Amino acid sequence: MNTELTIVANYRPEVLERILRVVRHRGYQVTEMKMVLENEKVWVDLTVTSQRDVCLLVPQLKKLFDVIDVTCESCD
């Protein structure tokens, strides 16, 4: 199942690596990614796929230090 996530984070050189590491460690595969850097903030649109429910991933991403917000259409 493909699910789209939108992540807003403070810009730091390592923030994208941290996000992708959590996604991979939790058993999800990134199928599409778009990133925009604006005003010291990063907007990352990820499309992930997995047999697992994506609602399990959202709280893990929100725990990351520089992540401000994570939105998911299927978890609201």
pLDDT of residue 4: 96
Question: Cα 52 to the chain's mean position, in Å?
Answer: 15
Is residue 43 helix, strand or coil?
strand
Tens digits of residue pLDDT in 13-59: 999 999 999 999 999 999 999 999 999 999 999 999 999 999 999 99
Query: What global pTM score does this model have?
Result: 0.93
pLDDT of residue 71: 96
Degrees (nearest 5) of the Cα angle 69, 60, 19?
70
How many C-beta neighbours within 10 Å does residue 49 have? 14
pLDDT of residue 73: 85
Residues 41, 12 contacting (CB under 8 angstroms): no
- Per the DSSP assignment, residues forming a β-bridge with 4 are 47
